[in-house]
Amino acid sequence: MSPWTLLSLFLLAGVAMAADEDEIDALKDLYKNTAGANWTVNTNWTIGDPCKNHWYGVYCDSGSRVTALLLSNNGLAGKLVAIDTSLDQLRTLDLSNNRLTGDFSKLAPYLCSLPQLSVLNLGGNGFTGTLTNCFVKASVDFFYMRDNHLSGSLRDILATPSLVELDLSGNKFHTQLPSSFDDLVNIVKLDLSNNQLYGYLSSELGDLATLKLLNLSHNNFTGTIPSALAALDFTADFSGNTWECPIPSGLSVNCTHCRAGYTVVNGLCKECPAGFSGNGHSECVMCPANTFSPVAGSAFCSQCPRGAFSFEGSADCVGTFLLVQFVLIVLVLVLVVLSLILYCVLRCWLKRHNKAPANDGATAYLHPEFS
């Protein structure tokens, strides 16, 4: 129970005067629109004066003005699209955990027109629609709308300076967070868990000086958790998202993947070497033949240009023209070597062959002359 609720309860003492006629009509309207006859408890409702007769859940100040309506868990049902603004001293409105429905963007302008409204709890109902921007200038500082079906933008509500606690958990917000939170100057508790929020987290969340609890669990956030959020003096719940490794030290969150070009090793990211590619989720993969990756940390292997080829795991490709040149040079070298060998062999053979027959020949030639 908030301080304001308690205050409202204390102000209850000394009820004497009668409530305003317009206020009585406003309460009777609420009773009628939310199936009052079927409420779990509706003691004294619609009988005489709400303050004097202690209508169940109605609290008044010493001037017999209604300051709080506490009708949580009371079987209120039906479409609620308006609240009579003659309840202009209302500080606390708690209609949580009932079966109220309706487009919240229709109801919101009435709530924003209640100049004293500080605690608003419509959690655990079936409200649909969006949060309008009227709360930015309204007086609500404890704003609880958990477990409804709200959707749309969070930009205006996250720029509402009066907010001390905001609970929008369990709705259908499918949007990104703003990058700046400069206007949330009083925020203590921010619960956006169980939605479909996506995108990257801004490190500016770490600048929320008054924050004590941040719950972003069970959304679809991606990217890394900024290291600026590691050494915070508030409780943070980042679980149930698919975070990119590495997780800043000190946070008990698991990460699932790394940036493309890397692979996860014990919660840390290891760069894939040149000649490999990495999708960030599984192990680095060797580039197949005829593809290449020139530098470490490549997300993919590129196809070799036309007329070039590579072997598996290559950091670059070899042009076929170069290959032909290479083969030609090798052939020429081989030919040269072969020629040399042949030349050598021939020379040696000729030398040996010439020597022996030369002597024979000499004898042979000399023989006829000198014989």
Ligand X SMILES: *[C@@H]1O[C@H](CO)[C@@H](O)[C@H](O)[C@H]1NC(C)=O
Contacts to ligand X by CB under 6 A: 35, 37-38, 43-44, 47-48, 53-54, 169, 193-194, 196, 215, 217-220, 235, 237, 239-240, 252-254
Nearer to ligand X, 62 or 196 (CB): 196
Least separation in angstroms between CB 51 and ligand X: 11
Least separation in angstroms between CB 36 and ligand X: 7
Helices (H), 241-319: none
Please count the other Cβ atoms lying within 10 Å of the Cβ belonging to residue 49: 18
Q: What is the DSSP letter of 345?
A: H
**Residue holding tokens 């192990």?**
283
Sheet strands (E) in 95-177: 99-103, 119-121, 126-128, 142-144, 165-167
Nearer to ligand X, 116 or 239 (CB): 239
Q: Which of 96, 75, 91 is nearest to 31 (CA)?
A: 75
Q: Which residues of 148-157 are buried (b: 16+ CB within 10 A; e: fewer)?
A: bebbbebebb
For Cα atoms 188, 68, 122, give the angle at the middle one, nearest 5 degrees.
Answer: 60
Nearer to ligand X, 35 or 318 (CB): 35
Least separation in angstroms between CB 202 and ligand X: 19
Cα–Cα distances (Å) from 37 to 30, 97, 126, 265, in that order, read 11, 18, 20, 63
Nearer to ligand X, 96 or 219 (CB): 219
Least separation in angstroms between CB 53 and ligand X: 4
Q: Is 227 helix (H, G, I), strand (E, B) or coil?
A: helix
Nearer to ligand X, 132 or 191 (CB): 191
Nearer to ligand X, 138 or 247 (CB): 247
**Residue holding tokens 């590495």?**
246
Nearer to ligand X, 23 or 297 (CB): 23
Dihedral sign (CA 331, 337, 339, 345): negative
Least separation in angstroms between CB 198 and ligand X: 8
Residue whose Cβ sits closest to ligand X: 54
Q: Torsions phi, psi of 317, nearest 5?
A: -110, 160
Least separation in angstroms between CB 326 and ligand X: 51
Least separation in angstroms between CB 333 and ligand X: 60
